[in-house]
Structure 1
């Protein structure tokens, strides 16, 4: 069985499946992946994606970090029940964000493979950076404001302007980061404080900032409604490797989510 799975996502076979799904040469593609579902090797899948996009296309992945924040859900889970002394020890051991070396451990094998690829670029946000390979990488990732996770001063807004596509590769709408851009486009979205460790000039320090309160808990329901009501071909589905995947028009997803939040989120 492993040999069959590997064959299913050889670079040529994977590129052919991606092209049939609708991935276009020369486009911008934001990819969320579960390699466990798709099967095979992350490096081979990156090759397939780049082959389908062609030399003029740009591949983008989230390279988010949570290990340097004491306001992130993983940190809060980790310290739940610990004494004040133990909690302080955890905070003291947190590594500061380093754009060049900080791993995106929660983003999966494919995202890390892209981040570590020769020629890849990464945006500068210490919590919600993106990595990209391709000619548009620099333009898409530049000027990612450190106090804007996923809003108008982030690569998501640049991808919206570039008419990017989203590929949910063996994963569901719960991972669709682009929906967060719609949270910023609501009238007076709720805001909260975030805090993380950074090291400007090599000096470790904590940094606190205010930004929109991000909430992905209803993204699966949002995605189901988006797909169910789509009549414009904004969502296409098909097999890639061992998994069913979706190719989505990013602008359509964000625009639909803005209206959906208005009707389904009571808080302002």
Structure 2
């Protein structure tokens, strides 16, 4: 069976960077990007060209941040895609490699985060499940001090991104992937849950459990639609990708009010 011809539009590093600037990305700013490469169309150079374009738009004084989460480093008894036999659970807890910022691949967050985390000069935070990687002058400040019991809260890069006046870029990605909303969940009283993972300590590899607020993104698309209705969000296209751009602090403040209201 013949392979169907590619569908456009045809995007290049230069065209993507130009469209990012027209969307409103500012040279020198700090940008938390959630991306879908496939949504752009046919990209000459693939993921490398997209990362280059993001860096081109931000310029040498800007900082690019992406989520590089490793959700596979987690308690095997709660795995669903797929679930694994109960007899495997103790073996997995004992054998799962400890998180290493340099070598642990990102999991289920797309190809752009994996490209950024392996990019020359990239820095990555140390949370075993919810790390972020950054490229640019602010990378060290944004990625240091990520507490193990604060995956997406105040003592994570999200807290520092808010303080730094960062903006969020949803490039072909929906509000369901907007990690900034999780920062709001840490500020609203609610249930906690246990969170387990393999870490490296001064005594060697350890299976560790911490308690954190329970995080749930199931209503994020609904939350995002309300945020966009009530707040100024820049919208436009990059290639074929529907894209949005907004201040992270605005999204967090709105989410705090919206999530605290009765459903």
- Please give the TM-score of this superposition, normalised by the length of structure 2: 0.92
**Secondary structure of the corresponding residue to residue 30 of structure 1:** strand
- Taking the aligned partners of 2:150 and 2:251, their CA distance within structure 1 comes to 20
2:214 is aligned to: 213
- Taking the aligned partners of 1:2 and 1:155, their CA distance within structure 2 comes to 38
Corresponding residue to 1:252 among 250, 253, 256: 250
The answer as to whether partners of 1:103 and 1:112 remain within 8 angstroms in 2 is: yes
Pairs within 5 Å for 1:71-150: 75-79=79-83, 82=85, 84-150=86-152
- Taking the aligned partners of 1:212 and 1:3, their CA distance within structure 2 comes to 43
- Point out 4+ residue stretches in structure 1 off by more than 4 angstroms: none
**Secondary structure of the corresponding residue to residue 2 of structure 1:** coil
Are 1:54 and 2:56 matched, yes or no? no
Question: What displacement does 1:95 show?
Answer: 2.0
- Taking the aligned partners of 2:161 and 2:77, their CA distance within structure 1 comes to 25
**Secondary structure of the corresponding residue to residue 204 of structure 1:** strand
- Taking the aligned partners of 1:32 and 1:72, their CA distance within structure 2 comes to 29
**Secondary structure of the corresponding residue to residue 49 of structure 1:** helix
**Secondary structure of the corresponding residue to residue 261 of structure 2:** helix
Question: What displacement does 1:144 show?
Answer: 0.8
- Taking the aligned partners of 1:175 and 1:71, their CA distance within structure 2 comes to 23
Structure 1 pair 212–26 and aligned structure 2 pair: CA distance change class (3 A): same
The answer as to whether partners of 1:66 and 1:72 remain within 8 angstroms in 2 is: no
Pairs within 5 Å for 1:1-268: 2=6, 4-5=8-9, 7-8=10-11, 10-39=12-41, 40=43, 41-70=46-75, 75-79=79-83, 82=85, 84-186=86-188, 188-201=189-202, 203-230=204-231, 233=232, 235-265=233-263
Structure 1 pair 174–211 and aligned structure 2 pair: CA distance change class (3 A): same
Question: What displacement does 1:180 show?
Answer: 0.4
- Please give the TM-score of this superposition, normalised by the length of structure 1: 0.90
**Secondary structure of the corresponding residue to residue 50 of structure 1:** helix
Question: What displacement does 1:4 show?
Answer: 4.5
Gaps of 5+ in 1: none
Aligned length: 256
Question: What displacement does 1:228 show?
Answer: 1.1
Structure 1 pair 218–141 and aligned structure 2 pair: CA distance change class (3 A): same
The answer as to whether partners of 1:26 and 1:53 remain within 8 angstroms in 2 is: yes
- Taking the aligned partners of 2:89 and 2:146, their CA distance within structure 1 comes to 31
Give the RMSD, CA atoms, in angstroms. 1.8
Partner deviation per Cα, 1:8-54 (whole Å, 9 max, x = no partner) = 2x111111100111100100000011112123211101111111111
Gaps of 5+ in 2: none
